[in-house]
Amino acid sequence: MSEKKQLQTLLTTTDYRPPEGFAAFPTAIHHASTVLFKNVGALRARNWQDKQSYTYGLHGTPTTFTLEARLAEIEGGEHCLLAPSGLAAISMIDLALLKTGDDVLLPDNVYNPNREMGDWLTRDFGISTRYYDPLIGEGITELIRPNTRLIWTEAPGSVSMEMPDIPAICRGARAKHVPVALDNTWAAGLAFRAFDYGVDIVMQALTKYHSGGSDVLMGAVITRDRELHRKIEMAHMRLGMGVSADDTYLVLRGLPTMKLRFDAHDQAAREIAAWLKQRPEIAKVLHPAFDDCPGHLIWKRDFSGAGGLFSVLFDPRFTEEQTDRFIDSLKLFKIGYSWGGANSLAVPYRIAQMRRAWTEAGQLVRFNIGLEDARDLINDLEQALKVLT
């Protein structure tokens, strides 16, 4: 372009191109709504589902395609779609696979917003939602109806920590041709190879370990089967599930250190859980690596690690008021939801109100063990437990 442009146009556009050949480890952050085509022919020929090219920011940029490809590799899948949060990934799976008149099965210990979604589908969308005992195993087959279209699993349930037999549930589901979705956030896609155990759809809250920074919300859906992927991709497009390029960069930045962090969380959490287990104030340690935890042997058989999240049940002699005071007395542990970040957290849950069937007595408190030194965290717990006596 040689003609002279007006200043306002110069402020808006440029023909300058930086030199080719720049190489560096980080993926570039591509901000884009509009994607440019060379000519009308290229625009007409472009297919939004073809990940070898670009059509519109919402359908992907080099930044988001890179994270999707890397997550699929990490989980042992083929396809991946990003969503603006873990919960958005859950709802995208539901809306892709369920319609009025269908039936979905959820474990009774499912992540509570997933349960809220299920209840909404029932109330307003004519989809029946039924809750099953997370330890049901292959017995899931008997619950499957002709209109059952999806079975959710979570390993373990992220508050009460029962560990389901995923391969047995998948066998039962496969016999009736119903896809199984797994919320694999607890194991981060590192400690459990979901697809090798028969899972069809993996959902991740990247908000947790992938990010590791307590500063970004994102989710992902990973599949091996192309047809399942296509269905979820249509829901992704129709719902406009775009993610921010900057947030995507933050998640990409966390990947190289994720396993180092996960293993450090795991080691410290087991040390702290073992310390809590021998305390008289604690009735049970709900951590899959400990035999208090239902499904402990399944964890041992199928998982290679545990991460930093676990719960405890206090001795039933302590009231909610007392255990709340214990949490308020913690100094290093902070009070807050979410997990997978560098800082340790403690949260009380009124578990009996969250479940159809809960028979355990005692107050439940969930811990996220961060990356502080475990000895300091134990000292913090020890001083806070003193308010109980």
Ligand X SMILES: *Cc1c(COP(=O)(O)O)cnc(C)c1O
User: Using CB under 6 A, which of the segments 19-27, 84-92, 97-105, 170-178 binds ligand X?
Assistant: 84-92
User: Using CB under 6 A, which of the segments 29-37, 64-72, 200-208, 322-330 binds ligand X?
Assistant: 200-208
Q: Per rule CB under 6 A, is residue 129 in the interface with ligand X?
A: no
Q: Are strands 128-132 and 180-183 parallel, antiparallel or unpaired?
A: unpaired
Convert 308-353 into a string of H (helix), E (strand) and C (coil). CEEEEEECCCCCHHHHHHHHHHCCCCEECCCCCCCCCEEEEECHHH
Among 65, 72, 80, 86, binds ligand X (CB under 6 A): 86
Among 205, 250, 276, 289, binds ligand X (CB under 6 A): 205
Distance CA 381, CA 389 (A): 14
- Minimum Å gap between C-beta 44 and ligand X is 37
- Minimum Å gap between C-beta 208 and ligand X is 6
String of contacts with ligand X for each residue 88-127, x by CB under 6 A: -----------------------x----------------
- Minimum Å gap between C-beta 71 and ligand X is 14
Q: In what order do the strands lie in the sheet with 79-83?
A: 79-83, 219-223, 201-205, 180-183, 148-154, 103-107, 128-132
Q: Per rule CB under 6 A, is residue 161 in the interface with ligand X?
A: no
In three-state secondary structure terms, 127 is: coil
Phi (first) and psi of residue 123, to 5 degrees: -65, -45
Q: Are strands 364-368 and 309-314 parallel, antiparallel or unpaired?
A: antiparallel
Q: Which is nearer to ligand X, 294 or 340 (CB)?
A: 340
Among 61, 64, 207, 211, binds ligand X (CB under 6 A): 207
Distance CA 101, CA 127 (A): 5
Q: Which is nearer to ligand X, 149 or 366 (CB)?
A: 366
Distance CA 163, CA 134 (A): 7
Q: Which pair of structure tokens corresponds to residue 259?
A: 């396993």
- Minimum Å gap between C-beta 187 and ligand X is 10
Q: Per rule CB under 6 A, is residue 164 in the interface with ligand X?
A: no
Q: Per rule CB under 6 A, is residue 185 in the interface with ligand X?
A: yes
Q: Per rule CB under 6 A, is residue 211 in the interface with ligand X?
A: no
Q: Per rule CB under 6 A, is residue 310 in the interface with ligand X?
A: no
Q: Per rule CB under 6 A, is residue 184 in the interface with ligand X?
A: no
Report the candidate in 369, 376, 29 with the shortest Cα–Cα distance to residue 208: 369
> Which residues lie near ligand X (CB under 6 A)?
85-87, 111, 158, 183, 185, 205, 207-208, 217, 219, 338
